[in-house]
Amino acid sequence: MTFNANSAAMHIEAREEATRRLWQHAETWKGRAMTPTARAIESRLLGEIAEHDGKVRRLVENGAEAERMNEFLTLTDAPVKRDLDSVRVGRMTVAELRSAEWVTDTSDGLIETVLNAGGYGSRLLPLISTQPFGKLRGRVAVPPLLTAHLLGRNDPDTAVENPVTAGLFEAVKLSAFATADRDEITDLPIIETATENGLAAAVGARADHFLLNGGTTTDGEFQGLLSGAVDTSVSAVDTAALFDAVARVQDAGADASAIVARPSEIAAILSSVPGDKLDRLPALLSIPDLNDGSVVMPVGKVLVADLRSIFAVIRKKPEFHASTEAPEVHERDQILMGMRARIGSPIVARVGRVQTLTKSA
């Protein structure tokens, strides 16, 4: 995988913000003994700093490993003779993958980074609020929408019941497969890298399709962002329409962080919105169709949203598959390789923070 600079920048910014808040907290209690609550706040901030620092380190390590692999492949022209069990699918060997039909990845890579696939996979996962889980189902805890009270010095506190919940969500499976001749993949390690990148890009792109469009499985129907957004019909996706959508997101208590559309719609926005106003709009995020032509963002549809207000459960690690006995490959002396991820339906923190503009016919 390539180094994901955007994800690293986000975690560095979050780490610096937590550090700033820690210093402020320390200054507040300078020269005084901290209360248990103050110590808990200090511990939480230290935990946030460590968490984001660890994620930055893993991103850098992932990028460094990719660079080392690229250098190795550049310098190696002759075939490398290996047995099939030493071939890697993702970061696991075929020998490790023989233990079960699907085996969970054992590496430390962030799932959002893996499925971003250097920008060729999911564009949304690194930008929304993902909540990882380790088994078959995950929980989403959305920050409650509360209103603080204004009280005088001697006024009694007012307590209103506002429960915070962590809903349990089913996750769908997103999988992709590729095949390779046994002789080629054992002799040419470069096929491993190409396969890993292709599988990750396919699963990541399908994740964006699912987040936006939902889907139907034997477990039921899953709603996507496009069907759950506040939709506005417009004659054209012009400057006024875009700024109105941004304002509606702000009315819902957030700042729009992205304008999401298919490449042709993004191109139309770039050509029609004046440059001085374009700089004041949120980032433009182009999402193409899937490789089989499945539409991800429809023609004439633009999504304007605070992506941080979108929550989704996602399994912490991808799963990998390898087989030489599958009917598709057994008689051809090939190997079947697969990658799978699990993700739940997106949940929006507040209605209105995801807006869509639909061009009228």
DSSP string for 247-270: HHHHHTTS---EEEE-HHHHHHHH
Residue 155 domain-assigned (yes or no)? no
Question: Residue type for 58, please?
Answer: R
Residue 159 domain-assigned (yes or no)? no
**What's the pLDDT at 269?**
95
From residue 359, alpha-carbon distances to 58, 236, 269 in Å are 43, 6, 13
**CA angle, residues 244, 250, 256, in degrees to nearest 5:** 80
Question: pLDDT tens, position by position, for the chain (361 residues)?
Answer: 555 667 777 778 888 888 888 888 788 777 777 777 777 778 878 888 888 887 777 777 666 656 655 555 555 555 667 788 888 888 788 998 987 889 998 877 789 989 999 889 999 999 999 988 877 666 777 787 887 777 788 888 776 667 777 676 778 999 999 999 888 888 888 888 899 999 999 999 999 999 999 999 988 899 999 999 999 999 999 999 999 999 999 999 999 999 999 999 999 999 999 988 998 999 999 999 999 999 999 999 999 999 999 999 999 999 999 988 877 777 778 889 999 999 999 999 999 999 999 999 7
246 lies in the same domain as 313: yes
**What's the pLDDT at 65?**
59
**What's the pLDDT at 4?**
66
Question: Residue type for 223, please?
Answer: Q
126 lies in the same domain as 1: no
**Overall residue count recorded for the chain in this entry:** 361
289 lies in the same domain as 232: yes
Residue at which a domain ends, from 75, 97, 123: 75
Residue 154 domain-assigned (yes or no)? no
Q: At what angle do helices 36-75 and 5-28 cross, to 10 degrees?
A: 160
43 lies in the same domain as 120: no
Place of tokens 């926005």: 269
Strand segments, DSSP code E, in the chain are: 88-89, 92-93, 103-104, 129-133, 137-140, 167-181, 215-217, 220-222, 230-234, 258-261, 283-286, 301-305, 310-315, 319-323, 334-344, 347-348, 354-359
- Residues 87 and 96 sit within 8 Å (Cβ to Cβ): no
Residue 193 domain-assigned (yes or no)? yes
Residue 247 domain-assigned (yes or no)? yes
The structure tokens listed for 253 are: 């208590």
Residue at which a domain ends, from 44, 75, 106: 75
What are residue 176's DSSP bridge partners?
A: 339
- C-alpha count within 13 angstroms, C-beta hemisphere, residue 315: 21
Q: Which domain holds residue 8?
A: 1-75
**What's the pLDDT at 346?**
93
**What's the pLDDT at 79?**
61
Residues whose CB is less than 8 angstroms from the CB of residue 156 and which lie 6 or more positions away in sequence, other chains included: none
- Residues 335 and 322 sit within 8 Å (Cβ to Cβ): yes
Instruction: For residue 101, give the CATH number of its domain.
Output: 3.30.2400.10
pTM: 0.75
210 lies in the same domain as 346: yes
225 lies in the same domain as 294: yes
Q: What is the tally of structural domains in the chain? A: 2
**What's the pLDDT at 296?**
97
204 lies in the same domain as 241: yes
Residue at which a domain ends, from 27, 57, 75: 75
265 lies in the same domain as 253: yes
The percent helix, strand, coil of the chain (3-state, each to 5) is: 40, 25, 35
Please give the Cα distance from 90 to 100 (Å, whole number). 16
Per DSSP, the three-state class of 148 is: coil
